[in-house]
Amino acid sequence: MSMLKLNTASLQRLPAQLTLNGTFQHTLRNAKGVSCAIEFDVLQCSKAIQFSVKGGPMWLSCTLARPVCLQRVVGFIESATNGTHWADAPYSEESDLVTEIESTLREVAVKRQGTYHLSTDDDIWVSIGAIGNRCRIEIDSTAFNMQLPTNTDEAYSQLHQNLHAFINACRATAHTA
């Protein structure tokens, strides 16, 4: 079996893409001329980088600690595309570097579209909807609307602060009711 490998142009662009947020297109080829186009999604988090590969109907995701080793990322992309075992899989503590809340809020700040759901440790279910620079955070039937700054780091910071303040206010209200 001839394995699909990232082409030279993709290998040259990948280091710069790992410093950004976004979705990037790559092509993998094998020695027999077979090629496959994939989407590579990168999300910068505070202590790690999360990334996903989509080659067909399925997304495969991974979290790696900073600084990220390019060869590990290439190995993940090629293994995910070929459906083979990834020899340099993340260490268990690497996936713990990014919480569900951080990952979700960073995705909202970057993509600015869609509805996201998450829960807190004490089972408060939160729904976050974003369209452009508008964002709505809902807990049960209570909602908080906000404008997102255009800078993604500022948007994440405001989302993080407002979400925690909103959750605390909902907790306080629930305890007094």
pLDDT digits (tens, 9 = 90+) for 11-24: 999 999 999 999 99
Taking Cα atoms as reference points, which of 116, 111, 89 lies closest to residue 44?
111
DSSP class of residue 154 equals H
pLDDT tens per residue across span 53-90: 998 778 899 999 998 889 999 999 999 999 888 877 76
DSSP class of residue 83 equals T
Helices marked H in 18-88: 70-82
Tell me how many degrees the CA angle 167-160-157 measures, rounded to the nearest 5: 155
pLDDT tens per residue across span 124-175: 899 999 999 999 999 988 999 999 999 999 999 999 999 999 999 988 887 7
Structure confidence at residue 1 (pLDDT) = 64
Statement: residue 29 has pLDDT above 80? yes
Provide the whole-model pTM. Answer: 0.84
Burial class (CB in 10 A: 0-12, 13-18, 19+), 137: buried
Tell me how many degrees the CA angle 11-109-139 measures, rounded to the nearest 5: 140
Structure confidence at residue 124 (pLDDT) = 84
3 state SS of 130? strand
Statement: residue 5 has pLDDT above 70? yes
Tokens of 69: 């080793």
Helices marked H in 18-151: 70-82, 92-95, 100-111
Statement: residue 177 has pLDDT above 60? no
Give the pLDDT mean for 98-119.
94
Structure confidence at residue 130 (pLDDT) = 95
Is 85 within 8 Å of 72 (Cβ atoms)?
no
Is 108 within 8 Å of 130 (Cβ atoms)?
yes
For the sheet containing 59-65, what is the strand order?
5-6, 22-29, 35-44, 48-54, 59-65
